[in-house]
């Protein structure tokens, strides 16, 4: 494995990346440093402990599609071929051949994606984060539900939501509405890349409390349980 890693501005200077918490970005950088020459990381949980990251940091990276997890507990950096393209005579092939068989490379964007034609069953595609209490869908990838110590998922919502105003009001609204965190994660992942939220530097992003009170996770145009696959990148 190479001892140096490159990082592309095409990935780390995007709004989607820069809006993540510092702890999440730090985790991503360390995953990058520990990845093999094909972008696979064998010990993401160990790295999480090493950099004092929490489960939510890993979930955000999955939710924003910066990493792809596998049943085996390893993960792969989705944009690896954008960051690092290693000469064939210097590259050491990954030992994770079974997981690599599940991936395809978009010839235009050079991004990894799960091969839908070889997609494992729902019972197979899981992450292995600690404190598992169940699974929730995120497109074709599963995330762990918040643990009882999470306050019902509000911390995850707050880290993901790009407009950080009125936290107290948002938390009260969250407790009142008790939205399904798994759907909220997916809706926000779609919304942050939408033209409506991107235009005029995010001027039209609703305040967090407003978004919760209006049950915006139920918006038809943001429906993800049956239509989310078309947003995969």
Quote the pLDDT of residue 58.
Answer: 93
Give residues with Cβ within 8 angstroms of 141, minimum separation 6.
62, 68, 69, 114, 125, 127
Residue pLDDT, tens place only, 118-146: 444 443 333 343 333 334 343 333 444 44
Among left, alpha and beta (phi > 0; psi -120 to 50; other), residue 226 is alpha
Quote the pLDDT of residue 152.
Answer: 66
Residue 49 in 3-state DSSP?
helix
| 88, burial (CB in 10 Å: exposed 0-12, middle 13-18, buried 19+) | exposed
Q: Counting every residue, how long is the chain?
A: 233
Secondary structure, 3-state, 162-207: CCCCCHHHHHHHHHHHCCCHHHHHHHHHHHCCCHHHHHHHHCCCCC
Residue 70 in 3-state DSSP?
coil
Quote the pLDDT of residue 229.
Answer: 39
Radius of gyration of the chain (CA): 18
Phi, psi of 5 (to 5 degrees): -130, 140
Q: Which residues of 68-81 are buried (b: 16+ CB within 10 A; e: fewer)?
A: bbbbeebbbbbbbb
Distance CA 226, CA 224 (A): 5
Residue pLDDT, tens place only, 201-210: 788 899 999 9
Smallest CA-to-CA distance from 90 within 11, 37, 25 is with: 37
Neighbours of 11 (CB within 10 A): 19
Return the minimum-mean-pLDDT range out of 16-20, 48-52, 80-84, 152-156.
152-156
* DSSP state, residue 88: T
Mean pLDDT of 180-191: 84
Quote the pLDDT of residue 144.
Answer: 42
> Would you say residue 220 has pLDDT above 90?
no
Largest CA distance in the chain: 59
Long-range CB contact pairs, 164-168, < 8 A, 24+: 164/208, 165/207, 165/208, 166/207, 166/208, 166/209, 167/208
């Amino acid at each position: 494995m190479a001892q140096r890693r490159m990082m592309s501005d095409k990935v780390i200077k995007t709004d989607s990346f820069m809006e993540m918490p510092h702890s999440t970005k730090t985790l991503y950088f360390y995953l990058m440093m520990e990845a093999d020459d094909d972008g696979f990381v064998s010990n993401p949980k160990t790295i999480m402990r090493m950099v004092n990251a929490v489960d939510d940091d890993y979930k955000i990276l999955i939710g924003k599609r910066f990493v792809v997890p596998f049943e085996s507990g390893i993960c792969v950096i989705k944009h690896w071929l954008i960051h690092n393209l290693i000469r064939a005579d210097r590259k050491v092939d990954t030992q994770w051949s079974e997981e690599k068989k599940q991936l395809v490379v978009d010839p235009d964007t050079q991004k990894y994606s799960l091969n839908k034609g070889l997609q494992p069953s729902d019972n197979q595609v899981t992450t292995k984060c600690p404190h598992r209490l169940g699974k929730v869908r995120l497109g074709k990838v599963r995330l762990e539900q918040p643990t009882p110590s999470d306050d019902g998922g509000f911390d995850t919502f707050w880290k993901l939501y790009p407009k950080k105003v009125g936290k107290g009001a948002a938390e009260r609204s969250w407790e009142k509405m008790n939205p399904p965190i798994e759907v909220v994660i997916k809706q926000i992942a779609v919304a942050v890349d939408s033209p409506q939220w991107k235009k005029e530097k995010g001027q039209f992003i609703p305040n967090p409390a407003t978004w919760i009170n209006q049950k915006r996770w139920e918006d038809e145009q943001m429906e993800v349980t049956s239509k989310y696959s078309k947003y995969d990148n």
